[in-house]
Amino acid sequence: MDVVIGTLVKANSIDAVRNLWELKLMIDGSLNVRKYIVRSKYPFKNDEIRRFKLTLKGNKVIKVEPSD
């Protein structure tokens, strides 16, 4: 399973009961934005975007940390 690290650009809740999110991340080392469907217990809010660096493994968010 690949590990992806990037800065959160946009977050949309797909299914709050199942903790499913559509996240758009700017991948570290590039200006490309990619979309991921993931499970996360963290309740992302749109006023918080670009404040977090996320680490994804497969379809799960495994780490949320403040962005530099």
pLDDT, tens only, 36-46: 999 988 888 76
Tokens of 38: 């993931």
**pTM (two decimals):** 0.80
- For residue 53, what are the domain limits? 3-66
Q: How many domains does the chain have?
A: 1
Confidence band of 27 (pLDDT split at 50, 70, 90)? confident
**What is the Cα–Cα distance from 15 to 30, expressed in whole angstroms?**
29
